Amino acid sequence: MRTFLLIIISSITLIACGDKVKTTEEIISSGNLQEIRAKRAEIVAQQTAIHEELQLIDDAISTIDTVKKVPLITSFTAKEEVFNHFFEVQGNVTTKDLLVVTPEYNGILTSVLVKEGQKVSKGQLLARIDDGGLGQQLAQLEIQADLAKTTYERQKRLWDQKIGSEIQYLQAKSTYEAQAKAVTQMQQQVAKTIVKAPFSGTIDDVITEQGSVVAAGQSPLFRIVNLSNMYIETEVPESYVKDITKGKKVKAEFPVLGKTFDAQVRQASDYINPANRTFKVEIDVPGKDQAIKPNLTAKLQINDYTNEKAILIPQSIISENAEGEQYIYIIDDKNSENEGIAKKIIITTGKTQGDVIEVLTGLTSGTEIIKEGARSVKDNQPVKVINYEESTTNN
């Protein structure tokens, strides 16, 4: 075959050029169609001969050189593991023990007994308001009540001995009971002039100074807060209503403080706000960390999905074909020298978390998957593993 091609080339050259060899440029410029076609046939014949020569050389190299030029890749083994998926929302720290104390009585604030930053106990006296003479009225009522009590007790002893009339006994009893109720009512009124701590905590702010005139239910006196019962409140879209329940894991981060901690959902509201289609969720906050304050902003990652036997792979190794199907490459028939065949498999995926994605179908535990080099290999191509990992994730 090679000899035949050389004869053709020589013949074409002699016919086309005669005694003088013309260059390709000269032949083209001559405009002689026969010579141009002859030159083309010559070049094609030369190209065919060179290709056959190269093929012979490549075959010889493959026979002599035992070192195969195969793609070098890394791999890992797919295995079942726990997969926790989290979604992110923003929340604010709050507490149910945060209250602005207002008076229950109109009058002059005669004394303020606490300072800002002072710790107080539930029921501790914080301030007094001028009672406007209620204390004197109470003293008089107590005296009258004591007299009515004495009269009633004596009348009762007589009546028990069948002395006196029943009407006298009943009148004495009625008078005593009326006086006792009057004393109780006046005591309640006087008690309103004393301001006490509704719960144990810290006086965050003294709002009204001593000597000021205050109005019941209107004038703010103190702000008291208890940091031991704080929680984070956030609003979650209604699409998560089935997934977010009490006890779900939460990762809370306070960017301002540079702090992160693990917590749980302590309450998920059963009410969906029709205005924004969200429901409220409360997350516990460690009460001993005094750096965390009410109204502090927190980033929350809430666990909405868990798969105890998930197979996870890096998203970077997944490709997509023209039909929109996702595929990866696995290693088949690997020998003792870590050489095997790359095989393409179609997979379906689920949720993602960071750099990994959950594989739902198409992959089983124990399969060796190509990692580095996954986008450069082809189906059924020989490959060589240079680095092997037991797993590619740390969930």
Q: What is the pLDDT of residues 91-126, one digit of tens each?
A: 999 888 888 999 999 999 999 999 998 999 999 999
Query: Which pairs count as long-range contacts for 113-120, CB under 8 Å and 24+ apart, including other chains?
Result: 114/203, 114/206, 114/222, 115/203, 115/206, 116/203, 116/204, 116/205, 116/206, 117/202, 117/203, 117/204, 118/202, 118/203, 119/200, 119/201, 119/202, 119/203, 120/197, 120/200, 120/201, 120/202, 120/203, 120/224
Contact between residue 374 and residue 335 where contact means Cβ atoms under 8 Å apart = no
pLDDT of residue 113: 92
Distance of alpha carbon 344 from alpha carbon 347, whole angstroms: 10
Distance of alpha carbon 104 from alpha carbon 221, whole angstroms: 11
The low-confidence residues of the chain, meaning pLDDT below 70, are: 1-21, 62-68, 287-288, 390-395
Token output for 255 = 């960017």
Contact between residue 297 and residue 276 where contact means Cβ atoms under 8 Å apart = no
Contact between residue 41 and residue 5 where contact means Cβ atoms under 8 Å apart = no
Distance of alpha carbon 198 from alpha carbon 222, whole angstroms: 11
Would strands 222-225 and 98-101 be described as parallel, antiparallel, or unpaired? antiparallel
Instruction: Give counts: helices (H), strands (E), the chain.
Output: 5, 21
pLDDT of residue 5: 47
Contact between residue 205 and residue 77 where contact means Cβ atoms under 8 Å apart = no
Radius of gyration in angstroms for the set of CA atoms belonging to the chain, rounded to a whole number: 47
CA distances from 49 to 4, 129, 136, 214, 311 (A): 10, 115, 129, 111, 54
Beta bridge partners of 259: 254
pLDDT of residue 359: 95
